[in-house]
Structures are given as C-alpha cells and as structure tokens.
Amino acid sequence: MLYHPVKIGKLELSGNIFLAPVAGYSDRSFRSICVERGAAFTYTEMVSAEALVRNNLKTEILMRRAENETAYAVQVFGGEPETVADGAKIILEKTNCECIDINCGCPVPKIIKTGAGSALTRDPERLYSVVKAVVRIAGEIPVSVKIRSGWDENHITWKEAALAAIDAGVSAITMHARTRAQGYEGKSDWSKIKELTALAAGKIPIFGSGDLFTPEDAERMLSETGCDGIMFARGAMGNPFIFDKTIRLLTTGKYDEIPIQMRIETGFKELINLARDIGEKSACLEMRKRFCAYSKGMNGGAAIREKIVKAQTISDYKELFNLNNTGTDF
C-alpha cells in the first residue's frame, strides 16, 4: 500500500503524507489546519541558526508547536557547523520538537551567500560537518536534511550530498528534485528521487518533493520513485484539503471535492488562529495572499480577490465572504 506508517529514527509516524517547510507560510496556524486535514508530520518554516544564537524573538515564535501537532520538526538553516549546532541546542531547549531538519536546498541568493541552503548540496564536506555537529547535539532526537538535486545542470551533486548526510548520521533525507539554478521553474526530475531511494534502501527513509499539486501527483510520485513518503509544499497553499484527499485516493481509490463554503470557513479558522499569535492587523495582512488561494475557483473570483487585498480586519473578511449570518462561530 502506498499510504503507510513510516519511521524517522526512533520517531514513529502514522502516515507518510507530510507538510513541507514553506517560508512565509508554514506557521503554526497553517500547520494546525494541515494536521486537521490529515498531515502526518509537519515542518516549521526555516529558522536561522544565527538569529537563534542572537536571541531573536521573532525566530523563536516560528518554532512554536501547534496545539494539535503530535509530532513536528523545526527546520534550521546555516552554513557554519558551530553556529548551526548552537542553534540546534537552542531549538531543543525552547521546544519539544520531535525532529530537527537542516535546510540544504533553499535557492535564495541571500541564504546561499552565507554558505547555507543549496550551497550545502554543492559542498558535501561542509554539509557533512554541519550535519555531524547537529547530530552530536541532538542525541536521541532524529536529524534530517532537505536537499536539491544539484547546483545546476552541470553540477548534479545529490548523490555526494546524500552520502555525506548518511555518513554524518541523518535519519531521513527529503529531495526537492530541482537544481538550485532552476529555483521553482522548469520540471522536477523525479528520476533523481528514485535513484536516491535506491541508494538509501535499508539505511534511511527518503521523502520526495517537487511538482506535487494534486492527490494524483502524490500517488504517481510514490509509485514511480518508490520513495517512503511525500511532502506537499506549494500544493498545500490555500488547499490543506489535499492531505485527506490524497489519503482517501491512496486508501480507497477516490475522493470528494471540497465545497467552496468549507474552503472559506477553513480559511477563517486559519485567520483566527493566526490573529491569536500575531495580532489581528498583522494576521489580516498575511491572510490576504492566503485567502486569494482559498477563494480560487469561486464565482466572481477576480472581483473578490480585488477586495481581499484591501481587507484590514476580521470583520472585513466576514463581510466580504458573507459570513456574518452563517451561524458559524469565528
């Protein structure tokens, strides 16, 4: 069966459909919604090891567990082994997360310039040192990495990076099967995930990421690559229902579409959760992009999205979606 339990080190998870770390999106309000909809494991958006060492409060907020998360991972980035290890130590002191994930795939130039993100996929020796330092600090807590397939089409370095990570003691590897040069453009080469899965067989689980936008995509990746699980990233934005739809497809062969009203009400639940964390004003600004995604496919969607980007209060959103008289408690 394609949907099944999976282990990351000693961590036992009930399923193999995860929410990936997504910068600017996978805060605990959104992760909470994804858990409700069936995500077996979730990752925080990436946090800076250097910022943690400098006691940056905003960074600490990103690491907080959602109330309904039975297991989650904090993803950390950094290019210096000592700094990342110090950051990992702070993560363990300030959270009770079940896993620490090291970002070795971010293609953003300002991250790469520090030797972090996908710069680590290009530099297996540095990757080894970073992972080894974190594994030493983490003890019984499993450490995982998320890598890219390589730097560019002429430097496909996933194999060297994966072997370095395995030698350093990681408990799992996720591959986004694009190069750093591709960013989020072009096509994800799932054949690389298949090769990585074969390389790591009997050692650690491999999770796939990239171009997963429908339940059928997830089914196809699991079938074609043999990977142990998948992570939804952009495919879950405004669409947390993709988790239970995928589980239904994998276990029953079919799933139901989600009514527009349920999508909007779910967006409101996320808004309320976010407002509790960061305040109504900031939450309403952040939810503009998210409600644009939740409202996709609505009649008059373009006109609605024009109004969404002007909403400033919870009341504005309620009025916009005519939720004042629905009997739903927000």
- Where exactly are the structural domains of the chain? 6-252, 260-320
Query: Is the pLDDT reported for residue 148 higher than 60?
Result: yes
Would you place residue 324 in the very low, low, confident or very high pLDDT band (cuts 50, 70, 90)?
A: low
Whether domain 6-252 has CATH 3.40.640.10: the reply is no
Q: What is the rounded average pLDDT of the residues 185-190?
A: 92
Asked if residue 266 has pLDDT above 70, the reply is yes
Average pLDDT along the chain: 94
The residue annotated as part of the active site, out of 99, 104, 106, 284, is 106
Residue percentage of the chain with pLDDT more than 90: 85
Mean pLDDT, rounded, for 74-87:
97
Is the pLDDT confidence value at 252 over 60?
A: yes
**pLDDT given at position 321:** 85
pLDDT at 325: 54
Q: Are 90 and 53 in contact (CB under 8 A)?
A: yes
Confidence at 297, pLDDT banded by 50, 70, 90 = confident
Residue 193 reports pLDDT greater than 90: yes
Please check the confidence at residue 327 and state whether its pLDDT lies above 70: no
Least confident residue range of 40-49, 83-92, 156-165, 311-320: 311-320
Answer whether 91's CB lies under 8 Å from 128's CB: no
- In degrees and rounded to multiples of 5, residue 19 shows phi and psi of -95, 125
Quote the pLDDT of residue 330: 46
> What pLDDT is stored for residue 57 in this prediction?
83
Q: What is the mean pLDDT of residues 61-79?
A: 96
CATH number of 260-320: 1.10.1200
Burial of 260 (C-beta count, 10 Å sphere; 0-12/13-18/19+): middle
Q: How many helices (H) and strands (E) does the chain have?
A: 15, 11
Q: Is 104 a catalytic residue?
A: no
